[in-house]
């Protein structure tokens, strides 16, 4: 069942959030008004123990479509790229910032990113580096705090300019990158694996069964990866599939109830996956949420959100799922909800 939780201090959509080691959630930036195209630098922290939001210092740069990654030292959060709006046009950024969790302050990284990134992904690797991939950029990079260069290029990707892909770290430490779009907004079906030891990329043995961008993905307990929803011009997608590392291929499974992008899939403690539906190609969002059973590979409806939304975040908190923000039909939200499977 979903119950209403304390609202965020700011309305925001198309923004990231990161869960800290003490359980708190840090969020920053995003769009807070579509009509004025206002992009915010505001940041805030949610405490599961008190159920309250508190403000922290704002970022040095307003941004949306950026990333936030908790670094391996557990003391800092890396923010990369994103976009601002100039004269009604989205402009990508090459700036990056570090948030000090203890002091609550932001500092620019000593070097800017080598290229401008937006609609990209950032993922913490097992070696402590952060892989930066996707966006309107032909290369991938990794962030290494121990290197004077900070941003080091990887070997060439097999598919460049992946806007809005998904990225998941596999059990063996490799990184699966799926889909995205180039131009026009037709979803890519290609996928590739990054090897952080050799700093190289290779194509998966088979493509996804459906080309998609803005989709959701989560690694399951059996090491497979569940991929659901997304968009490929002109429609949002209800299709779903599984990636199996054992044979490096994808298998189509049952469709979800609502074709949505900017949706979330969250692995629960019982091995099931909770899907929040997101929005369709017309900007209409669904309040439908579903549970995926990995044993049967089927979806079943569970209780609906109190507020339909897309562009939100979702995290496992206290054996449930906590989601906040996003938008619906042009209205930016600050509402939050908590899902309890019991």
CA–CA distances in Å: residue 89 to residues 14, 30, 61, 129, 233: 16, 15, 17, 32, 21
> What is the distance in angstroms between the CA of the first residue and the CA of the last residue of the chain?
7
Inter-residue contact 191 to 205 (CB < 8 Å): no
State the Cα–Cα distance between residues 189 and 196, nearest whole angstrom.
23
**Is the peptide bond preceding residue 337 cis, with omega within 30 degrees of 0?**
no
CB 12, CB 310: distance < 8 Å: no
| Candidate CATH numbers 1.10.3720.10, 2.40.50.140, 2.120.10.80, 3.40.50.970; the one for domain 8-154 | 2.120.10.80
Rounded CA separation 244/237 (Å): 21
Residue 124: DSSP 8-state = E
Q: Each residue's pLDDT tens digit in the chain (342 positions)? A: 999 999 999 999 999 999 999 999 999 999 999 989 999 999 999 999 999 999 999 999 999 999 999 999 999 999 999 999 999 999 999 999 999 999 999 999 999 999 999 999 999 999 999 999 999 899 999 999 999 999 999 999 999 999 999 999 999 999 999 999 998 899 999 999 999 999 999 999 999 999 999 999 999 999 999 999 999 999 999 999 999 999 999 999 999 999 888 999 999 999 999 999 899 988 889 999 999 999 999 999 999 999 999 999 999 998 799 999 999 988 999 999 999 985
Going by C-alpha positions, the residue among 219, 35, 189 that lies closest to residue 11 is: 35
Q: CA–CA separation, 342 vs 329, rounded Å?
A: 31
């Amino acid at each position: 069942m979903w119950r209403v939780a304390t609202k965020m201090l700011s309305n925001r959509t198309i923004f990231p959030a990161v869960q800290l080691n003490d359980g708190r959630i840090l969020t920053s930036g995003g769009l807070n008004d579509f009509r004025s195209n206002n992009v915010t630098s505001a940041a805030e922290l949610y405490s599961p123990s008190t159920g309250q939001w508190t403000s922290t210092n704002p970022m040095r740069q307003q941004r949306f479509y950026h990333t936030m990654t908790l670094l391996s030292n557990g003391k800092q959060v890396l923010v990369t790229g994103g976009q601002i709006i100039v004269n009604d046009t989205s402009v990508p950024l090459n700036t990056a910032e570090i948030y000090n969790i203890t002091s609550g302050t932001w500092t620019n990284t000593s070097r800017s990113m080598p290229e401008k990134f937006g609609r990209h992904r950032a993922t913490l690797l097992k070696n402590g580096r952060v892989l930066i991939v996707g966006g309107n950029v032909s290369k991938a990079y990794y962030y290494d705090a121990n290197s004077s260069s900070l941003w080091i290029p990887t070997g060439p990707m097999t598919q460049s300019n992946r806007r809005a892909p998904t990225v998941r770290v596999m059990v063996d430490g490799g990184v699966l990158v799926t889909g995205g779009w180039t131009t026009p907004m037709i979803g890519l079906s290609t996928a590739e694996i990054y090897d952080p030891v050799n700093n190289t990329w290779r194509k998966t043995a088979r493509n996804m069964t459906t080309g998609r961008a803005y989709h959701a993905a989560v690694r399951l307990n059996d090491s497979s990866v569940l991929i659901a929803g997304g968009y490929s011009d002109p429609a949002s997608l209800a299709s779903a599939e599984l990636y199996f590392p054992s044979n490096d291929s994808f298998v189509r499974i049952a469709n979800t109830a609502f074709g949505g992008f900017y949706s979330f899939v969250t692995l629960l403690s019982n091995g099931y996956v909770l899907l929040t539906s997101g929005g369709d190609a017309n900007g209409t969002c669904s309040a439908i949420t579903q549970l995926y059973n990995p044993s049967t590979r089927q979806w079943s409806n569970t209780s609906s959100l109190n507020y339909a939304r897309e562009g939100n975040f979702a995290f496992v908190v206290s054996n449930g799922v906590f989601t906040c923000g996003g938008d619906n039909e042009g209205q930016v939200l600050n509402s939050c909800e908590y899902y309890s499977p019991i």
